[in-house]
Amino acid sequence: MSTESLEAAITRVGSPVKLLRDARALPYTFPIPPEFSNWRSEQRAWRESVALFDQSHHMVDLFVKGPDALRVFADLGVNNFSRFRPGVASNSSPRTTTAT
């Protein structure tokens, strides 16, 4: 195992971005087995395509209330919220606001 400091590693490769892009160590992915290539291709996929995955193993309950709660989620996601009901679990699919 290397004892190189973060500062030394960044200096050695020239920038923190290059250090992350070319990292050989895989990120910690428990309990999901790794199914990815590298940081750069993952970021490109998020920007240029769609990501479908199950994150239910680490999701928490989120309780939102207030007169504009429904509008906030409608503005942030692609879901049709007209059938969402209080006290019933629902999923939301967020969207980006920029065109590519």
> Using alpha carbons only, what angle is made at residue 59 by residues 27 and 71, rounded to the nearest 5 degrees?
120
Please indicate whether residue 77 or residue 14 has the higher confidence score (pLDDT): 14
What pLDDT is stored for residue 88 in this prediction? 80
Global pTM value = 0.34
Task: Quick: pLDDT tens for 40-98.
Answer: 877 887 788 876 666 666 666 777 788 888 888 888 888 888 788 877 877 777 777 66
* Cβ contact 81:73 at 8 Å: yes
pLDDT number for residue 55? 65
User: For residue 35, what are its two tokens?
Assistant: 């199914």
